[in-house]
């Protein structure tokens, strides 16, 4: 199947020009001013942007968490992603306590079997090195295409690791070239604050934020940075939410240390006051780190503009408000942490980042596609529009007006963080390796079309045909 995308404005992290893009055998084979070729399918992209498919490196699909399981499985989560212009994501395997890493990989791959709508890879979240997984086994994962290890420095009593585990994994990463990702919060201090709040009878959703002050994020971010320097590994700090965490990352990057940071769409738009909404509405915004004071929104926009933070992900971790979040109606610490977002990342960053004059179109592509592809060993197969790259392409209509709503989105969650927000600009046609996934507001491809992608290491190229051993 060949596809000719005619006359669109091709935007990459570096370029911005009008061209025809020709796709054969799932890859981009020609780009030119006016291509004289015959194609099975011609898409008129005049007046539209032609963007590389979004790459979301931070999602949680079909994940047991907080006493329940996230409501979006691989099929519904990836369908939401496809409608939103994301064609590749990297999900977290959470090592079940007592399981080997091989068992964990098998379990997570089975969840995706036959359901994939877009391409995907995995990070390995290490929870237990005492029984099951060993450091020796962890060292084998990058050769299987799992080239990032994740450590939770919070969620005490569940998936939090101690500093010894964190440091030992960093040492393995230094040997194997894997990227270490941290959820940076001081889990022990938060645990004390949560117990004290509950003893005082403070049970409402807002106490989720009040027991996780920004200093706990700043402290853990700095601790992880310093430990990564000792171990000599590359570090990526996920879901940065506040100035206290931005500052140590900025210092590390100015000093040239191997440290990168990510924020998520919601941290630009949701603030602490959302948690105070009455009638348990605040529970919709219980995710971790929590929504912060509004002043942090500008801090984060500046950080993504100046490359202090280099990626915007979603941390899509969707639950039902009615039925799952309600587990914590009488105790905020029992509200499952997480929120949906996969479908609206490109729309929201385009509307308030690009149209709002905060970042350029090129920087938007870099934050949502190119940088995540580079850091997670997918570039240049993913993350750009170039000859030889996978034809993961979004034909984006910059004029179309859309009102975001849970009634029309594709997540199984019963709410949307951005309910009622009006945006101008939305994906019109979405292609995965040259196959049309979304068109005319419909999913036109069958689940099963998405593939597992074995990733290269940070800094190593990934091209089709380059096998990961």
CB 448 to ligand URP: min, Å: 27
Which entry of ligand URP, Zn ion, none binds 338, CB below 5 to 8 A by partner kind?
Answer: ligand URP
Task: Kindly report the number of other CB atoms within 10 A of residue 425's CB atom.
Answer: 19
- Of 73-81, 207-215, 309-317, 320-328: span binding Zn ion (CB under 5 A): 309-317
60 is an interface residue for ligand URP by CB under 6 A: yes
- Of 20-28, 221-229, 275-283, 307-315: span binding Zn ion (CB under 5 A): 307-315
Q: Which of 447, 413, 365, 403 is nearest to 54 (CA)?
A: 365
User: Two tokens at 159?
Assistant: 């998936």
182 is an interface residue for ligand URP by CB under 6 A: no
455 in helix, strand or coil? coil
Exactly one of 56, 204, 315, 414 binds Zn ion (CB under 5 A); which one? Answer: 315
Q: Which of 321, 292, 286, 346 is nearest to 80 (CA)?
A: 346
72 is an interface residue for Zn ion by CB under 5 A: no
CB 72 to ligand URP: min, Å: 12
Exactly one of 115, 183, 208, 325 binds ligand URP (CB under 6 A); which one? Answer: 183
Site string for ligand URP, 132-171 (x = CB under 6 A): ----------------------------------------
CB 173 within 8 A of CB 149: yes
Q: How many Å apart are CA 299 and CA 279, to the nearest integer? A: 31
121 in helix, strand or coil? strand
CB 214 to ligand URP: min, Å: 15
Q: Which of residues 319-358 bind ligand URP (CB under 6 A)?
A: 337-338
258 is an interface residue for Zn ion by CB under 5 A: no
CB 456 to ligand URP: min, Å: 24
Site string for Zn ion, 127-166 (x = CB under 5 A): ----------------------------------------
Number of residues that bind ligand URP (CB under 6 A): 8
CB 244 to ligand URP: min, Å: 17
258 in helix, strand or coil? coil
SS3 content of the chain, % helix, strand, coil (to 5): 30, 25, 45
Exactly one of 9, 27, 150, 183 binds Zn ion (CB under 5 A); which one? Answer: 183
Q: Which residues contact 260 (CB under 8 A, 6 or more apart)?
A: 234, 235, 236, 237, 249, 253, 310, 311, 375
Q: How many Å apart are CA 50 and CA 258, to the nearest integer? A: 32
CB 228 within 8 A of CB 170: yes
CB 63 to ligand URP: min, Å: 8
Compute CA 226 distance to the chain's CA centroid, rounded to the nearest angstrom. Answer: 24
Q: How many Å apart are CA 412 and CA 75, to the nearest integer? A: 10
Task: Kindly report the number of other CB atoms within 10 A of residue 306's CB atom.
Answer: 10
317 is an interface residue for ligand URP by CB under 6 A: yes
Which entry of Zn ion, ligand URP, none binds 287, CB below 5 to 8 A by partner kind?
Answer: ligand URP
Q: Residue 4 or residue 80: which is nearer to ligand URP going by CB?
A: 80
User: Two tokens at 275?
Assistant: 């948690």
Partners of residue 431 on adjacent β-strands: 393, 436
Contact residues for ligand URP, defined by CB under 6 A: 60, 183, 287-288, 315, 317, 337-338
């Amino acid at each position: 199947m060949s596809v000719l995308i005619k006359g669109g404005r091709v935007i990459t992290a570096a370029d911005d020009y009008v061209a025809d893009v020709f796709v054969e055998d799932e890859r981009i084979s020609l780009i030119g001013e006016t291509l004289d070729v015959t194609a099975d399918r011609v898409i008129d992209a005049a007046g539209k942007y032609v963007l590389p498919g979004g790459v979301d490196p931070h999602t949680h699909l079909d994940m047991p968490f907080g006493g329940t399981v996230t409501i979006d499985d691989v099929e519904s989560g990836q369908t939401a992603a496809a409608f939103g212009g994301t064609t590749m994501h990297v999900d977290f395997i959470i090592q079940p306590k007592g399981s080997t890493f091989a068992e964990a990989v098998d379990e997570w791959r089975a969840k995706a079997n036959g359901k994939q709508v877009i391409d995907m890879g995995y990070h390995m979240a290490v929870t237990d090195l005492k029984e099951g997984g060993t450091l020796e086994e962890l060292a084998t994962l990058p050769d299987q295409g799992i080239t990032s290890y994740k450590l939770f420095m919070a969620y005490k009593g569940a998936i939090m690791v101690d500093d010894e585990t964190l440091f030992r994994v960093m040492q393995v990463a230094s040997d194997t070239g894997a990227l270490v990702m941290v959820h940076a919060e001081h889990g022990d201090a938060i645990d004390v604050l949560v117990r004290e709040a509950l003893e005082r009878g403070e049970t409402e959703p807002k106490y989720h934020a009040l027991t996780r002050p920004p200093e706990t994020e700043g402290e853990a971010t700095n601790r992880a940075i310093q430990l990564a320097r000792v171990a000599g590994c590359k570090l990526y700090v996920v879901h940065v939410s506040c100035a206290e965490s931005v500052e140590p990352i900025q210092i590390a990057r100015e000093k040239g240390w191997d440290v990168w940071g990510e924020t998520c769409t919601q941290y630009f738009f949701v603030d602490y006051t959302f948690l105070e909404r009455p009638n348990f509405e605040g529970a919709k915004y219980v995710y971790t780190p929590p929504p912060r004071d509004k002043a942090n929104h500008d801090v984060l926009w500046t950080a993504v503009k100046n490359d202090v933070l280099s990626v915007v992900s979603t941390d899509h971790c969707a639950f039902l408000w009615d039925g799952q979040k309600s587990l914590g109606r009488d105790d905020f610490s029992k509200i499952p942490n997480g929120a949906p977002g996969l479908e609206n990342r490109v729309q929201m960053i385009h509307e308030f980042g690009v149209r709002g004059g905060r970042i350029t179109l090129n920087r938007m592509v870099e934050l949502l596609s190119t940088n995540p592809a580079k850091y997670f060993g997918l570039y240049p197969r993913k993350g750009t529009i170039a000859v030889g790259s996978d034809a993961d392409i979004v034909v984006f209509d910059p004029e179309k007006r859309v009102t975001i709503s849970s009634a029309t989105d594709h997540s199984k969650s019963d709410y949307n963080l951005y309910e009622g927000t009006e945006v101008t600009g939305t994906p019109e046609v979405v292609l995965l390796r040259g196959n049309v996934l979304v068109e005319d507001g419909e999913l036109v491809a069958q689940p099963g079309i998405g593939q597992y992608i074995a990733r290269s290491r940070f800094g190593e190229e990934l091209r089709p045909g380059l096998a990961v051993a």
